[in-house]
Amino acid sequence: MTAFRATNVVLNENEARVLGSLVEKDITTPDYYPLTLNALVNACNQKSNRDPVMSLNDEMVRQALHSLNEKGLAGTASTADSRVPKYEHRMQEAFNFTRRETAVMCVLMLRGPQTPGELRGRTERMHRFEDLTDVQSTLQKLMTREEPLLRVLPRQPGTKEARYAHLLSGEKPEWDAPPVPLEARLEHSGDSERVARLEQDIESLKKEIADLKQEFAGFRRQFE
C-alpha cells in the first residue's frame, strides 16, 4: 500500500487534538472505540497526557471533525449497533504508518515537541520501544519520507537530547526562538523518563479500575 498525504494540508490546534485523541483511544481503549462525540470531547480535554490542557466544547469538536473529514483524516464510523454517531480516525489510510510511527505521531500531536527519551516512556501504552535507538530509527523514517512529517528542533544548551516536533500543523515560530536560559529550565525540569513512566502507571491503574467497574456491573446484572 502506498502512503499518501494531501498536499497543503495543515491542521489547526483543535484538529490536531481531535485527531490525536482518536488515534490514542483506538489503540489504548479499543473496546470503547469508535468514540461518541461526548467521549471524544472528554478525550480532547483530558488533564493527563495532554500539553497544553484544552477546553473544547461540542461545537468546536464538531467543526474539527468536519474539517478532518474533508482532509480524509477522520469521519463517521459505520456502526450498525449504535444509536448515536461515532467517530474514527483514518490515519492509516492517509499515511500507511507502522504501529511505532503511529505511536510517535500521536504523542507529538497530544503533547507537543518531545525528546526520544520522553517519547519512549510516553508511547509505551501504544507501542513498546526496546531502546532509544529504536525510537530514533522511527523518528528518522518519519523525517525522511517524501513529505517529511517531523523535524528536529534546535538543541537547548545543557540538554542531552534534542526535541522532535510533528509537521502536520506546519512550522511554529517559537521552535526557532532563542533558547530559554538553563537556570529557568532547571526550575521545571526533572527526570523526564521517570515522570513519563509514572504517568503511564497512573493511566494503567485508571484503565484497570474502569475494567473492574465494568466487570462488577456485569456481575451485578446477573442477579437483577
The answer to whether residue 136 is domain-embedded is no
The answer to whether residue 62 is domain-embedded is yes
Rounded Cα gap, residues 107 and 26, in angstroms: 13
What's the CATH number where 88 sits? 1.10.10.10
pTM of the full structure: 0.76
- Mean pLDDT of successive 10-residue stretches along the chain, which has 224 residues: 52 98 97 96 96 97 97 89 89 95 98 96 96 96 95 84 95 71 52 70 82 74 64
Long-range CB contacts for residues 82-86, cutoff 8 Å, separation at least 24: 82/36, 84/36, 84/37, 85/36, 85/37, 86/34, 86/35, 86/36
Residue 204's pLDDT is 79
C-alpha cell at position 3: 502512503
Domain assignment of residue 64, given as a range: 10-96
Residue 27's pLDDT is 97
- Give how many domains the chain has, as a whole number: 1
